[in-house]
Structure 1
Amino acid sequence: MALYQLFSHPAERGYRAGLCSKAALFLLLATALTYIPPLLVAFRTHGFWLKRSSYEEQPSVRFQHQVLLVALLGPEPGAFLSWSTFPTFNRLQGVHLRIPLVSTREEDRNQDGKMDVLHFKLELPLQATEHVFGVQLMLTFSYQLHRMSTFVMQSMAFLQSSFAVPGSQLYVNGDLRLQQKQPLSYRGLDIRYNVSVINGTSPFAHDYDLTRIVAAYQERNVTTVLSDPNPIWLVGRAAEAPFIIDAVIRQASGK
């Protein structure tokens, strides 16, 4: 014979415990583990479904006090003066070598431990019959990133300006910016390019050729470039007065 349910009544049981009991602590721990770990994972992975993202970081940039200068005195071949901080290069220049007066100053304007601006000034002594029509200047820097990628390299700022009239001073004010051809690695220490831009120990003249130096530098995946230098060419040099290069190089954020 079939049986039918004629009546049902649910039974409800309640469990109570104090705030300091083991049951209350377990409930609090279970709730925290339900919400906090997913939030941490989402924060550390910077989003689950990002296809492309970017960030800005102020690099740690220090001037290495390495300079290579070529001053063009006219359209005639061989009419130039040169100097560098590399003794071997200077020995190779012969009569073209001219020792300038150089002064530099780095500023940390916001007091965060990272230099923001480099003030570079070079005074090249000239004779009364010598006139500067162009300048090629190379400065080297130590460049470091730490936030997302631990990246260390030696880089440079290259400035080249020429004019139809002789000048007394070249004023430059620009930003040292990072250029990337490929993304940086986010794991480990990347020191692929932590080598000297100029091989100052080489006894061979071709290792100091600006064309070779710039070509080898541009083969890198990561470089720095002096952006928007806004060169100002001042004329009217007095007799026996030096030719002056006054440069202000700001450390732009890496992206």
Structure 2
Amino acid sequence: MAVYEVYSTPVLQRYKAGICTKTTLFMILAFLFTVIPPFLVAYRSEGFWLKEDFYREQPSVSFKHQIMMVLDLLDSSYLTWSTYQNYNQLQQDHLRVPLVKTREEDVNRDGRPDMLHYNIEVPLQDLEQVYSAKLILIFGYKLNRFSSVRMESMAYAYHTGPVPISLFNIEGELKLQLKEPLAHKGLDTRYDVPVINSESIFAGDYQLTTIFSNYARRNVTTKLQCDYPVVQTGRGAGQPLILKGTIHFPVETIPYVPGFWQVMKFAWIQYLAVLVLFIFIMERVKNFVFANQIVTTVVERPYPLVSKNHYH
């Protein structure tokens, strides 16, 4: 009569031994060999502990209507103006008040400005010729997705050339600059302080070298990145110098230090991937050792051994 398999189940066979035996020592070594080498393999393969990760966020940027302008003339003199009263009082002989127009625009209507348009018209005398223009615009900058960052930042636009200019136009982006990753949570207000100390009555505190030196010490700053500056020369009689441009506030890719649970989740996935392979290998080794009684054990079978197979 033909016989075929219609169903199968595993048979549990138990191997028993005393505590202080070679068998127990073998099982301890087998356990250690199963769990420790996967950790070493995953750790030595680099990237086991997630030390830095990235996310993207649209910052909340607002123009604070604070400006400082310095124009260098061909006769080694200069003209300047700012929105800081103390600075203007210190620069009476060089002060030149411009006509300033600014407009923030929210293109995608998400409640956050996407760009700033500005137009500054500086009245000049016909004999005044500007060859260098320096402009600082002050912004409030916020990040909210992971760590909540609050700071005052700036955009610095400048042009220096050998010939007098009549227009300086930029189309750029206010880019976030980080010297170290941000935290994954918490409130960071380390730099929520004025870029320019408007309360000071000392001229040295308003010098560009002082402002830039203090700003460069920060770990978190913004920088105006302009790949398309446009400069025009040939100013007509009675015409003002025009400083204008558009500053975009792009979505930023921000590095941050992951939290404990994110680090553990990332490490566990790598460890588990290697652990599965070692478990598979060790199970085969233990099956061979106990089946061939390489270490002494007491075998408990669910049924007595028989010399022949019987079919019913």
Q: TM-score, normalised by structure 1?
A: 0.78
What corresponds to 1:86 in structure 2?
84
Measured against aligned partners, the alpha-carbon deviations of 1:12-51 in whole angstroms (never above 9, x if no partner) come to xxxxxxxxxxxxxxxxxxxxxxxxxxxxxxxxxxxx9644
- Aligned AA for 2:128? E
Task: Give yes or no for the alignment of 1:246 onto 2:244.
Answer: yes
What corresponds to 1:182 in structure 2?
180
Distance apart, 1:105 and its partner CA: 0.1
Distance apart, 1:108 and its partner CA: 0.3
- Aligned AA for 1:96? H
Q: Which has the larger radius of gyration?
A: 2
For residues 177 and 115 of structure 1, the distance between their equivalents in structure 2, rounded to whole angstroms, comes to 15
For residues 73 and 205 of structure 2, the distance between their equivalents in structure 1, rounded to whole angstroms, comes to 23
- What SS is found at the alignment partner of 2:87? helix
Higher relative contact order (CA 8 A, sep 6+): 2
For residues 166 and 156 of structure 1, the distance between their equivalents in structure 2, rounded to whole angstroms, comes to 26
- What SS is found at the alignment partner of 2:118? strand
Distance apart, 1:183 and its partner CA: 1.1
Task: Give yes or no for the alignment of 1:65 onto 2:65.
Answer: yes
Q: 2:197 pairs with 191, 196, 199, which one?
A: 199
Measured against aligned partners, the alpha-carbon deviations of 1:148-195 in whole angstroms (never above 9, x if no partner) come to 111110000011211111111001010000000011122221100000
- Aligned AA for 1:237? R
Contact 2:101 2:118 in 1 (8 A): yes
What corresponds to 2:210 in structure 1?
212
- Aligned AA for 2:68? L
- Aligned AA for 1:138? I
What corresponds to 1:53 in structure 2?
53
For residues 157 and 227 of structure 2, the distance between their equivalents in structure 1, rounded to whole angstroms, comes to 8
For residues 214 and 162 of structure 1, the distance between their equivalents in structure 2, rounded to whole angstroms, comes to 18
- Aligned AA for 1:65? H
With 65-74 and 179-188 compared, the bigger mean Cα shift is at: 179-188
For residues 87 and 209 of structure 2, the distance between their equivalents in structure 1, rounded to whole angstroms, comes to 15
Distance apart, 1:211 and its partner CA: 0.4
For residues 203 and 51 of structure 2, the distance between their equivalents in structure 1, rounded to whole angstroms, comes to 48
- What SS is found at the alignment partner of 2:184? coil
What corresponds to 1:129 in structure 2?
127
Distance apart, 1:229 and its partner CA: 4.5
State how many pairs are aligned: 206
Stretches of 4+ aligned residues off by more than 3 angstroms: 48-52
- Aligned AA for 2:189? I
- Aligned AA for 1:135? A
What corresponds to 2:157 in structure 1?
159
Contact 1:150 1:186 in 2 (8 A): no
Contact 1:127 1:240 in 2 (8 A): yes
The residue correspondences of 1:103-118 to structure 2 (distance < 5 A) are: 103-118=101-116
Contact 1:133 1:166 in 2 (8 A): yes
For residues 197 and 229 of structure 1, the distance between their equivalents in structure 2, rounded to whole angstroms, comes to 25
For residues 187 and 91 of structure 1, the distance between their equivalents in structure 2, rounded to whole angstroms, comes to 43
What corresponds to 1:14 in structure 2?
none
Distance apart, 1:230 and its partner CA: 2.2
For residues 98 and 104 of structure 1, the distance between their equivalents in structure 2, rounded to whole angstroms, comes to 19
For residues 73 and 249 of structure 1, the distance between their equivalents in structure 2, rounded to whole angstroms, comes to 26
**RMSD, matched Cα:** 1.3
Measured against aligned partners, the alpha-carbon deviations of 1:25-82 in whole angstroms (never above 9, x if no partner) come to xxxxxxxxxxxxxxxxxxxxxxx964442111000000000000001111x43x1100
- What SS is found at the alignment partner of 1:165? coil
Paired-residue identity, %: 47
Contact 1:175 1:229 in 2 (8 A): no
Q: Pick closer, same or farther for the CA change 1:208–1:68 going to 2, 3 Å.
A: same
Distance apart, 1:231 and its partner CA: 1.5
For residues 200 and 193 of structure 1, the distance between their equivalents in structure 2, rounded to whole angstroms, comes to 16
Distance apart, 1:213 and its partner CA: 0.2
- Aligned AA for 1:189? L
